[in-house]
Structure 1
């Protein structure tokens, strides 16, 4: 697989792939024009390359210069990347387009030979063919240009691949004998016959496969004509994960190494597609320079990361280590959550382009790498907030559960909160996570279950509004401060509204709750009227929260 030799061209390719789709075909064709003009023995300035590709001259002058050989390599890679970044059909070109198999038939060579021609400079694009599948395509004009520059190489390849019928028959006879009596695999036979005949290994392999396809009733390897079943694929994949080499798997299942790799990639692709990838979407993920801006280094955030908090003296040694990880500042927290969700957004976008039947190792590795990076960021966020779990767990330490059981439960809630938190709403994560942890404890602490369940159904709305006003420090999350915040909010309500909310949800010091019916009898109104007043009061609190947030 080719890679960029010049970082500047790789960055330019990324910008072209993020441009308007209607412009990308023009960039792609301009890249091929520049490729045909490039002399491997000359050097080309960066400004010239950008101008030839886009029609615009960079405002900032640089001293970057590309050697012709490296530039030709990068232009070939750029053509593949740009053509793969949008839907480009063969019908978008007025000339004939060949895929790899059609090229091999045209010149009577193997598909491996076509791949070697690509390494020598044959321009290729990733195009959508009439059958709806995307694969490597070659324009007729591109082929003619390559023939003009590499005529001798093409003629030599064509001459070399032209086996006589007698040679083919001899190869098939020997291959059948080796497969029957020596139990050799296809690749082993191809290598042995290649040494005896002086032909390429790929030529021998192609000859045998072609014979088996044309004469299935006389096939040397009939099992290769049928696709591998789902159960067999799973067995191969499990063996591969346990560390068994591809060579041994190929020998055991009488398959080629290439087919084993394809099966492994297919199974990896299926796993990625079945794995849920949830993220909190943000519009900034779609911007042209999203990755560059989201992952830009922030010196202020780095400075905040060095701040540590004093460790409480009454904690066990294990819990004291949690305080070695510094708290996250608001800016650093926002940056980490943005990066975390962007990586998952990008992974989800990439995996949607994967066809398990034709999965490329490069595609699968890219998605796996993005998910791994996202998980590293998630662990960073979790570690920085573990002391929050300890703080809340210590306040709920009662009943049959011990501190470590509560912390274990709280850690699960914390990890779920990381996945659901919307960083763009302006709240601190500790506010959101605190409530998620307390709701979980409402289910796990028996003596608190009834009161906290009621608290979760009604007070969640009130405390969300309180958090929106940001009138207390969420990192401390002191329950007394929460109550003080709620009391401040209640001052905006009428006495009757305050009474209904306080007594219905048990917000007073006693913590006792009352039903709508009990409140209606006390206030001399119907229970339906009590419910209506409560709805009005909550709506009034929401309006107050929204008004302050927009200031």
Structure 2
């Protein structure tokens, strides 16, 4: 059974009782928690206030609006019972009724200890008792009877289990060897065990353990030889990057001598480590712990308090494209600002909670997708706040322009201060963000401008007037960046219209997107096809791009 509580409120309750409640009081709470557990229905929701009252007899001061799902409640109650009982250190002879160990339960129902462990995950309530001087898992007779009564079919099925005969073991080994030879490196032990179990009406775990025992006893004829040497971090990183670039899992499994499932596991492990290494800061708020607040927090941006759409001022003539574009973004009023800041920090806090319980070695794709989705949503809200305040940076930079200060350098420096201010602003205090951001930007200018002037004075060449008088015929920097960005977006859009293999080959052959250029032979090895086939796919992809570029009237040097 998972040792992690589904909700921190229940864990907090357990910690409080373990620290402050007398021993006899804790025993009473364990009994009440087990009685409550028998009443919980997985499909229903339960207020935390009700659960706390049923266990302790008092109403909680916090978490008053919290509602928990029945399935999570059942899991957390079983964990609370086990954890509280471990603080009591009750001997088996002190229990009011007989206590059975895991082994004794197994013997009574003719099942393995693994089956008993599985029953615990499915609802069999366990406690911790002192047996022969050591704390061990035990089951009260009444707890066992309640589980058997509610899981009669499952217990009967386990009790009818029969040991494998020698003929059945030989059949399992024969089938496994045939599957492994038919698809070498493609199927692993678990997948083979699952298929054989389905054919022979046996449990997957029984077949898996049989095959592992065979390989251990016959190393010279092992069906699933021990895995290759563990991969180092660099090799794992290479697998992750190549998969991101489009190399199939089948090809990676063949090249690295691993199964498909192990490659997926390695990819998720690297992906999880990279997520955990990313810095994630947020300002917490009490409403984040109240599920009922989520609808209001994630609601669309409210209309202005005045009820009128914000007026978009007309950009002055002669402004560079970058500055002119700032006038297209409407300003935010106080309520809209607070709404976006609360939403951004709420999304970050949800991602943070998921990251806290993330185990890279066991990370699942759905968990990683959800964390990345939350972080991307938070980034989108953050960018919305930044865009609405870029005009503030320009207005402050204008006041600091001097003979020795470049305006666009000041704007760039001020933008970085604005981004940091968005991260650090505590929206719960009710202050206007523009006040906080203005102070942060001006404080940064007060520090960086003197430093820049000092460095400039130390490296005077004596030819400054000549440099300033010389004509600058270069392309406007911002126009160049805008054109380059438009070109990159156009190329990305064109590549998206190719299929996966065409896109990978074109990207790798021309070194697009920062990837290294690779030869036809290298790509053929990675994709598992011949060099000539790679050339044909490349030619087909280039022809498609030429046609798309012609339709959009684009001139691309690579074509």
TM over 0.5: yes
Verify: 1:156 aligned to 2:157, yes or no: yes
Please give the alpha-carbon distance, in whole angstroms, between the structure 2 residues aligned to 1:247 and 1:411.
Answer: 46
Q: Which residue of 1 aligns with 2:530?
A: none
Question: In the TM superposition, what is the alpha-carbon distance from 1:385 to its structure 2 partner?
Answer: 0.5
Question: In the TM superposition, what is the alpha-carbon distance from 1:380 to its structure 2 partner?
Answer: 1.9
**Cα deviation 1:214-272 (Å, max 9, x = unaligned):** 76676432334865543443333334433455565555545455444443333233223
Kindly tell me: are residues 355 and 220 of structure 1, through their superposed partners in 2, closer, same or farther at Cα, counting changes over 3 Å?
Answer: same
Equivalences for residues 150-229 of structure 1 within 5 A: 150-157=151-158, 159=160, 162-176=163-177, 178-179=179-180, 183=184, 185-186=187-188, 189-190=192-193, 193-194=196-197, 197=200, 199=202, 203-212=206-215, 219-224=222-227, 228-229=231-232
Please give the alpha-carbon distance, in whole angstroms, between the structure 2 residues aligned to 1:337 and 1:86.
Answer: 40
Taking structure 2 as the reference length, the TM-score comes to 0.55
- Where 2:226 maps in the other structure, the secondary structure is helix
Question: In the TM superposition, what is the alpha-carbon distance from 1:325 to its structure 2 partner?
Answer: 3.0
Please give the alpha-carbon distance, in whole angstroms, between the structure 1 residues aligned to 2:410 and 2:12.
Answer: 47
**Cα deviation 1:444-472 (Å, max 9, x = unaligned):** 7699735999xxxxxxxxxxxxxxxxxxx
Gaps of 5+ in 1: 1-9, 59-72, 131-136, 454-551
**Cα deviation 1:118-176 (Å, max 9, x = unaligned):** 8xx9227899999xxxxxx9966665533333333333356467322332234225534
Please give the alpha-carbon distance, in whole angstroms, between the structure 1 residues aligned to 2:241 and 2:169.
Answer: 38
Please give the alpha-carbon distance, in whole angstroms, between the structure 2 residues aligned to 1:21 and 1:337.
Answer: 33
Q: Which residue of 2 aligns with 1:312?
A: 315
Q: Which residue of 2 aligns with 1:323?
A: 327
Gaps of 5+ in 2: 1-5, 19-25, 60-67, 91-98, 131-136, 458-559
2:70 paired residue among 72, 75, 98: 75
Q: Which residue of 1 aligns with 2:510?
A: none
Please give the alpha-carbon distance, in whole angstroms, between the structure 2 residues aligned to 1:127 and 1:171.
Answer: 38
Count residues in correspondence: 413
- Contact 2:124–2:147 (8 Å) recurs in 1: no
Higher RCO, Cα 8 Å, sep 6+: 2
Please give the alpha-carbon distance, in whole angstroms, between the structure 2 residues aligned to 1:452 and 1:85.
Answer: 66
Kindly tell me: are residues 296 and 255 of structure 1, through their superposed partners in 2, closer, same or farther at Cα, counting changes over 3 Å?
Answer: closer
Kindly tell me: are residues 193 and 382 of structure 1, through their superposed partners in 2, closer, same or farther at Cα, counting changes over 3 Å?
Answer: same
Question: In the TM superposition, what is the alpha-carbon distance from 1:208 to its structure 2 partner?
Answer: 1.9
1:263 paired residue among 251, 261, 266: 266
- Where 1:166 maps in the other structure, the secondary structure is helix
Please give the alpha-carbon distance, in whole angstroms, between the structure 1 residues aligned to 2:216 and 2:157.
Answer: 27
Taking structure 1 as the reference length, the TM-score comes to 0.56
Q: Which residue of 1 aligns with 2:384?
A: 380
Question: In the TM superposition, what is the alpha-carbon distance from 1:90 to its structure 2 partner?
Answer: 7.1
- Where 1:277 maps in the other structure, the secondary structure is coil
**Cα deviation 1:335-372 (Å, max 9, x = unaligned):** 43344344434544543333333445565455434433
- Contact 1:398–1:445 (8 Å) recurs in 2: no
Kindly tell me: are residues 356 and 183 of structure 1, through their superposed partners in 2, closer, same or farther at Cα, counting changes over 3 Å?
Answer: closer
Please give the alpha-carbon distance, in whole angstroms, between the structure 2 residues aligned to 1:348 and 1:342.
Answer: 10
Q: Which residue of 1 aligns with 2:297?
A: 295
Please give the alpha-carbon distance, in whole angstroms, between the structure 2 residues aligned to 1:48 and 1:405.
Answer: 56
- Contact 2:33–2:77 (8 Å) recurs in 1: no
Q: Which residue of 2 aligns with 1:122?
A: 122
